Amino acid sequence: MSPKSFQFYRTFVPKLSELCDPVVISFDNTTFVKSYTLDPLVTPHHFIHSGNFFSQPYVQKPELRTKERILHLQEKLINKRTDGLMTLNVPVNGDLTTPYWEHVAADRLKAIEASLEAAVWTKENTKRPDLLYAGFEVGTYRDASYIFKKAVSADLTNLSAGFGLFSRLAKYRQEDRLKQFEVLAAYDQLSREFEGTRFHASGGSALNVLELLAYANVTSADGSSAVIAGLAYGSVLTATGKVIRANKLAHWGCNCEFCSGSRPSDVVKELQRSSEARVRHNVNVMRSSVARINDALANNTIAELTEQRLTLYKNKALWKCLDIVNNKPARE
């Protein structure tokens, strides 16, 4: 099987001048259109999401998030730099505090079957079926393996799953990461059986897991950690994947594109002063990581690069994630 490239999309924030990195946007995102109308030549590559069902507008008004409305608005956003469209992903129910893997199997099955029906409908009604990624909310290896195989049988070879909900709840964060990689292990196995598949991991894609995602044959992912760390937490990412508060910085030896052009002392002052500077640094660190990943994929050394990342980051849970992908456990 030929190696697939890996792409990372940052969760969209208003345009950063001269920084045209790929972004993910919601189907009803008008900010994106307004930001790039005046200069279409710098419109970034983008992946159009189907909207987070747990966001307040859709929780309060579910009628805003139907397969018909999603497709109608997504197609208005399509241009030459659109890389993919995610179809409607149906949650188990309105309970946003119970993890998917703790719901009864019948309810989980009903939800993923509804997602598959929405994806098939979208494929039949869209003008751009080549861009579609069938979206699912899954939390176990067994559920993912079942629905991914059904999707491929329906000629839906681009797949996607959302991982952004329970990583926001500290109570489930660690288990959620392990369950995420059960789902990815199911896709990894499928991708080895059926060539030509692609997978978008939506949400929860922090710097320290990018190599693991690529190792599991994920072809694209999105996440907000680079932006949130810089804006909300006043923090910067290091090459190892650690997060450091900018006001705690002392010595700084970063060689990313943002930092390498100035003296380290000046960079530290700017990172401490400016939230935009922190975001730019963080985005460039993510960008460098993606470049290394694609070089490793091209040279068939992604396994070695993944182990290097985990050795540097020193996190037992991520080593468990690697074991899950390697062993592909079929467990609830």
Question: Over the stretch 101-158, which tens digit does the pLDDT of each residue have?
Answer: 999 999 999 999 999 999 999 999 999 999 999 999 999 999 999 999 999 999 999 9
Question: What is the enclosing helix (H) or strand (E) of 156?
Answer: none
Q: Are residues 257 and 201 in the same domain?
A: no
Domain carrying residue 277: 225-300
* Selection from 21, 11, 89, 14 nearest residue 256 by Cα: 21
The number of domains in the chain is 2
> pLDDT by residue (tens digit) across 31-72?
777 766 656 667 888 999 999 898 888 989 989 999 999 999
Do residues 107 and 60 share a domain? yes
Instruction: Give the span between the Cα atoms of 249 and 252, in whole angstroms.
Output: 7
Q: Per the confidence metrics, is the pTM higher than 0.75?
A: yes
If asked whether residues 174 and 28 sit together in one domain, one would say yes
Q: Is residue 282 within 8 Å of 229, Cβ to Cβ?
A: yes
Q: What does each C-alpha distance from 133 to 12, 50, 122, 175, 197 come to in angstroms? A: 19, 10, 10, 26, 10
Residue with tokens 């490239």: 5
User: What is the per-residue pLDDT across 203-226, written as a single tens digit (0 to 9) for each?
Assistant: 888 899 999 999 999 999 999 888
**270 and 165 within one domain:** no
Which helix or strand (DSSP H or E) is residue 288 part of? helix 275-298
Q: Are residue 126 and residue 180 in the same domain, yes or no?
A: yes
